Structure 1
């Protein structure tokens, strides 16, 4: 017999001896003091029941506390707004919603790997960043302007000054729901690599399934 087996056998014999002596002592006590023994046995039984119930309740509470978010919070999908189909739909959006709509429109192009809305404070003329599957990167500046409020030459110069050196992109695009001033168009033609200017009618054509400006 191995040493481990001998130890287990010795512990078993010791346990049996202890229980035998305990039962014998209870028997003697019951014969000598029957009423007192019965009272003590009842108190011990009730104490054991209370202890078991408290332990079970504590385990249930700990179990609920392990994953409170998973048990109490129900995931609710974010509702999607309808895709714009014309300029009126785009004009009904706020500037942030318009940027998201343009990013979604860019993602419809199968050549686009990723299009992410970046607009915000100090965005340096980058409202949407587009990554094409051929490796090119594109900056889109979004201008949700009412008809008659045209994009100026200053915006053309701003995008031209940031899309390469600051954002590391290969192409700059300005998308607007209105149009561009004559000075903006003239400034764009003077650039070594002109930007892609998308006005309201071109945006409507793109939305209807036409090719994206970088195609």
Structure 2
């Protein structure tokens, strides 16, 4: 009894089905076919104006059909080669997309660079005011601007916090042995709310504050940022003053 011989499949085994690869492949083939159809349509319209050319085009199409019918096997090989080339282009494009996405993901995972410490006490008064305004802009107060100068009535920086509150800041660029006193706070307290309409009043002093100044600030709900608080805010170790105030109010209201 003869042993049946199983003929090996002439088709290569395909890998697992990839929806994205197949979709891109069909899209590429569709573009190729559409381009070929448009070219054929343009050629047909051009030949329509010349009967002889139209006849030649018809004969050429018939001859092509005969060749294709006679050489179906070869046509299948050509079609397979075209398909493989199309999938090769698709795979290369997908590989580039994956590489680009991986690069973007790696950039997102990189930790942000730590802010370089700034010695605010070494800045001149105007540069210090501009530095405080820049901190406000960095943390969401896009309209922060320096308004200090003659006739500023105690306001050096005006801004709007991300949640819409009006922030009024007075900047005291003092040396380490010159702390902001209660008189400084009283002058600011007399204008920050009544004149400037502050929702949040903040005094930033590179020299710190005296105890009477801190007592007055607490009575008038004025935030006081000395060198330690300013450094923590600047270097990202603490939230901005308006966010810290929210956390403080939430802690006081908690049962």
* TM-score, length basis structure 1: 0.57
Residue pairs, 1:132-211, within 5 angstroms = 132-191=161-220, 194-209=221-236, 210-211=238-239
Please list every run of 5 or more consecutive structure 2 residues that lacks an aligned counterpart in the other structure.
Answer: 1-114, 244-255
For 1:159 and 1:211, the matched residues in 2 are separated by 24
Q: Counterpart in 2 of 1:85?
A: 117
SS state at 1:114 partner: coil
Question: Residues 133 and 146 of structure 2 are in contact (CA less than 8 Å); yes or no, is this contact kept in structure 1?
Answer: yes
For 1:204 and 1:169, the matched residues in 2 are separated by 24
1:212 aligns with 2:244: no
Kindly state the Cα deviation for residue 165 of structure 1 after the two structures are TM-superposed: 1.4
For 1:166 and 1:189, the matched residues in 2 are separated by 20
Q: Give RMSD over aligned pairs.
A: 1.5
Q: Counterpart in 2 of 1:109?
A: 139
Kindly state the Cα deviation for residue 117 of structure 1 after the two structures are TM-superposed: 0.5
For 1:92 and 1:147, the matched residues in 2 are separated by 11
CA 1:84–1:184: 2 relative to 1, 3 Å: farther
Superposition misfits of 4+ residues, deviation over 3 angstroms: none
CA 1:84–1:96: 2 relative to 1, 3 Å: farther
Q: How many residues in Structure 1 have an aligned counterpart in Structure 2?
A: 128
Q: Higher helix share goes to which structure?
A: 2
1:96 aligns with 2:126: yes
Question: Residues 161 and 242 of structure 2 are in contact (CA less than 8 Å); yes or no, is this contact kept in structure 1?
Answer: no
